[in-house]
């Protein structure tokens, strides 16, 4: 009986969330499937790890979550009735409570829907010999797969997270004091949790609503920038512990049908917007691949090009090939360099 691979992470289930703890030294080798494109060849040549916004994924339902619409609307309505309704109507240019509630709700949902653009993700797999993935992600087995050290990917993801925070501090358009900012400890490399249940984010959205009304209440209609600056300053200096439940659950949960991918992800902030760059793609850092796997149906031209790059990097190269048995077949690797 073949032993199952020991997990490199722990799931700690609580009342309101599941916490994922990554064990760095037990992360397995991870593999990136690539089709033959100029961008993928350039990334391999220059040892670059690129990520993209989830809204560019082939699965349009990736990185989404659920919520109770009626409960959220009632919560906003209660806030509007108890608060300075006249001020809220002025901020949103509305005539009555219903219009104000609808405007705030639509604004929140729009921000949540566009929130996928705030992060970038790079995807990997524990498997290099998945027929389905070679077909879907490596150009119908005409592309290639790169092998990486899981530990080195962990370190790269953490370095990118720290770099992103420095960019946030340096750009700092609103002049917020970050001197007392408590640094959250985040695992920025995560395994996908396969489940048919989407995360219920109603509780987190209510927390966002509380923060938004704090902003509205602090807003000076004659100087809205000053109100926003004060709000951000107070938020940063509260030093609240970061709750990554919504982030992890949206970025790292997929439906059970995708379990064959055995996927891991590196995620990070999309700092392109801070650098005045609207591209959905972002280089997270440099990392040399440990090995190259060529698709079974790769063209001779592409094979020569990839072999040349791999030879210059002094990394092993494997050719994938179908091994046929009496009642089944499987992909196997043959070392050619």
CB 320 within 8 A of CB 129: yes
Q: What gap in Å lies between CA 159 and CA 287, rounded to an integer?
A: 12
By percentage, how much of the chain surpasses pLDDT 70?
85
Is pLDDT larger for residue 57 or for residue 127?
Answer: 127
Q: What gap in Å lies between CA 141 and CA 320, rounded to an integer?
A: 9
Of the pLDDT bands very low, low, confident and very high (cuts 50, 70, 90), residue 117 is: confident
pLDDT of amino acid 228? 64
Task: Give the tens place of pLDDT for each residue, 53-96.
Answer: 888 888 888 878 889 999 999 999 999 999 888 888 888 899 99
- CA-closest candidate to residue 192, choices 259, 136, 117, 115: 259
Mean predicted lDDT score pLDDT of the chain: 85
Is pLDDT larger for residue 308 or for residue 231?
Answer: 308
Is pLDDT larger for residue 313 or for residue 271?
Answer: 313
Put residue 52 in one of left, alpha, beta given phi > 0 → left and psi -120 to 50 → alpha.
beta
Tell me which residue has tokens 């031209």: 301
CB 199 within 8 A of CB 249: yes
Q: What gap in Å lies between CA 214 and CA 209, rounded to an integer?
A: 9
Q: Which of 62-76, 246-260, 303-317, 321-335: highest mean pLDDT?
A: 303-317
174: tokens are: 């609103």
- CA-closest candidate to residue 144, choices 75, 253, 43, 220: 43
CA atoms within 13 A on the CB side of 177: 9
Of the pLDDT bands very low, low, confident and very high (cuts 50, 70, 90), residue 6 is: low
Task: Give the tens place of pLDDT for each residue, 166-181.
Answer: 888 888 777 777 776 6
Instruction: List 282's β-bridge partners, or say none.
Output: 51
63: tokens are: 């990185």
The alpha carbon of 110 is separated from its chain's Cα centroid by a whole number of angstroms, namely 19
Residue 203 has pLDDT above 60, yes or no: yes
Q: Which of 108-112, 129-133, 176-180 has the lowest average pLDDT?
A: 176-180
Residue 7 has pLDDT above 90, yes or no: no
Q: What is the pTM of this model?
A: 0.87
| Pairing outcome for strands 193-194 and 48-52 | unpaired
Give the start-end residues of each E strand in the chain.
Answer: 9-13, 18-22, 30-34, 48-52, 119-125, 144-148, 189-191, 193-194, 253-254, 263-269, 281-286, 291-294, 317-324, 329-335
Distances (CA, A) of 84 to 74, 97, 209, 242, 264: 17, 11, 15, 30, 47
115: tokens are: 């929130």
Interval 233-241 mean pLDDT: 58
By percentage, how much of the chain surpasses pLDDT 90?
47
Q: What gap in Å lies between CA 49 and CA 37, rounded to an integer?
A: 15
Task: Give the tens place of pLDDT for each residue, 140-157.
Answer: 999 999 999 999 999 999
Interval 99-120 mean pLDDT: 85
């Amino acid at each position: 009986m073949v032993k199952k691979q020991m997990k490199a992470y722990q799931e700690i289930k609580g009342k309101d969330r599941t916490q994922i703890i990554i064990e760095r030294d037990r992360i397995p080798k991870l593999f990136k499937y690539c089709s033959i494109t100029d961008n993928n060849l350039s990334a391999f040549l220059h040892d670059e790890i690129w990520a993209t916004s989830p809204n560019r994924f082939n699965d349009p339902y990736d990185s989404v979550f659920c919520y109770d619409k009626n409960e959220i609307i009632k919560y906003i309505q209660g806030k509007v009735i108890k608060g300075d309704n006249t001020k809220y109507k002025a901020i949103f240019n509305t005539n009555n409570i219903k219009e104000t509630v609808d405007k705030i709700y639509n604004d929140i949902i729009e921000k949540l829907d566009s929130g996928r653009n705030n992060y970038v993700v790079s995807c990997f797999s524990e498997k290099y010999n998945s027929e389905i993935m070679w077909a879907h992600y490596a150009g119908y087995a005409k592309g290639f797969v790169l092998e990486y050290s899981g530990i080195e990917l962990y370190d790269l993801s953490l370095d990118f997270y720290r770099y992103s925070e420095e960019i946030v501090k340096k750009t700092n358009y609103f002049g917020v004091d970050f001197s007392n900012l408590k640094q959250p400890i985040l695992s920025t490399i995560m395994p996908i949790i396969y489940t048919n249940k989407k995360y219920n984010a109603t509780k987190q959205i209510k927390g966002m609503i509380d923060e938004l009304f704090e902003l509205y209440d602090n807003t000076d209609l004659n100087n809205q920038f000053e109100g926003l600056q004060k709000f951000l300053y107070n938020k940063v200096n509260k030093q609240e512990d970061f709750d990554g439940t919504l982030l992890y659950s949206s970025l790292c949960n997929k439906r059970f049908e995708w379990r064959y991918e055995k996927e891991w992800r590196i995620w990070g902030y999309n700092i392109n917007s801070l650098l005045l760059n609207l591209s959905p793609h972002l280089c997270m850092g440099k990392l040399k691949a440990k090995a190259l796997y060529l698709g079974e149906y790769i063209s001779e031209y592409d094979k020569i090009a990839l072999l040349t790059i791999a030879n210059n990097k002094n990394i092993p190269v494997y050719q994938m090939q179908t091994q046929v048995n009496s009642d089944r077949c499987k992909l196997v690797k043959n070392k050619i360099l």
